[in-house]
Structure 1
Amino acid sequence: MGKDSKPKDSGGKGKGKQAGGGSDEAASKGKGKARKSDGLGTCTYVKARHILCEKQGKINEAYKKLDDGWLGNGDKVPPAEFAKLAAEYSECPSGKKGGDLGWFPRGKMAGPFQEVAFATPIGATSAPFKSTHGYHIILCEGRKN
């Protein structure tokens, strides 16, 4: 890692600062909080729905339905439609409630699930990803401090 960080330091004084001069200031004041106007870096709670499947093939099938219906057209998936797919595909008990996880704070969910949930913009759907529990798709419905 030492080799990687040295070129970044020397390169950051040349190309990096020219390309993102304003973002360097924002990063030094809060690691990109100012750059992320949607609050991705600052929120404390996220409201989300998810689909959980044990097998990758099944989560990919659910994602394909989302992609064919909305995502492929650049649209956002309506929460009611996501809930229908969660009820059909999810193997989590929350599937009966349309995948609704309600509001949860940082630190409650494990590893990749938390990272994806807090990085997904409001109204957006994550790509399928793996956690210790299986494969997920997340729909972010809200965020607050």
Structure 2
Amino acid sequence: MGKDSKTTTKKPAAKGDKGKGGDKEEKGSKGGKGGLGTCKEVKARHILCEKQSKILEVQNKLNEGWLSNDSKVPESEFGKLAMEYSECSSGKKGGDLGWFPRGKMVGAFQDIAFGTEPGNCSTPFKTQHGYHIVLVTGRRN
């Protein structure tokens, strides 16, 4: 049983390491949607609001204009909403965060940004900074 316990202990550690440095293991199975978690950098825009009611207002505007029709939100239109609603300094630049690597953003933000396909918007989510909506505009390895 001692050997089995050691093996069991090692397996969860390996799984936990995948998110940080396990990209090499995942690259081999990159086909299809599996590639979402393997990129090294993401380019995104976001809208940050302190109050949930305000981010839900933004979400309603996105739904009315594009999302309810299964359309992609144009980057320029998302940028206009960011300039109007975002309480982040990036709002002045249309919410543009540019390219950022894994480990630069807080956990939930990083998870959403790296798990969203380019051209798609996230639903509202909360971090310690407030409520966000993210539009992913690019991915690269």
TM-score tier (shorter):
0.7 to 0.9
List gaps (5 residues or longer) in structure 1.
Answer: 1-28
Tell me the secondary structure at the aligned position of residue 112 of structure 1: helix
The aligned counterpart of 1:87 is 83
Q: Which amino acid aligns with 1:36?
A: K
- Is 2:56 the counterpart of 1:57? no
Consecutive aligned runs of 4 or more in structure 1 exceeding 4 Å deviation: none
Tell me the secondary structure at the aligned position of residue 109 of structure 2: helix
Q: 1:119 aligns with which of 105, 115, 118?
A: 115
Q: Distance in 1 between matches of 2:33 and 2:120?
A: 15
List gaps (5 residues or longer) in structure 2.
Answer: 1-24
Q: Distance in 2 between matches of 1:64 and 1:100?
A: 21
Q: Distance in 2 between matches of 1:49 and 1:107?
A: 17
Q: 2:62 aligns with which of 60, 66, 70?
A: 66
Calculate percent identity across the aligned residue pairs: 66
Q: Which amino acid aligns with 2:75?
A: P
- Contact 2:103–2:110, Cα closer than 8 Å, also in 1: yes
The aligned counterpart of 1:136 is 132
Q: Distance in 1 between matches of 2:38 and 2:30?
A: 6
The root-mean-square deviation of aligned C-alpha atoms, in Å, is 1.4
Q: Distance in 2 between matches of 1:115 and 1:57?
A: 23
TM-score using structure 2 length: 0.79
Query: What number of residue pairs does the alignment pair up?
Result: 116
Q: Which amino acid aligns with 2:38?
A: T
Tell me the secondary structure at the aligned position of residue 118 of structure 1: helix
TM-score using structure 1 length: 0.76
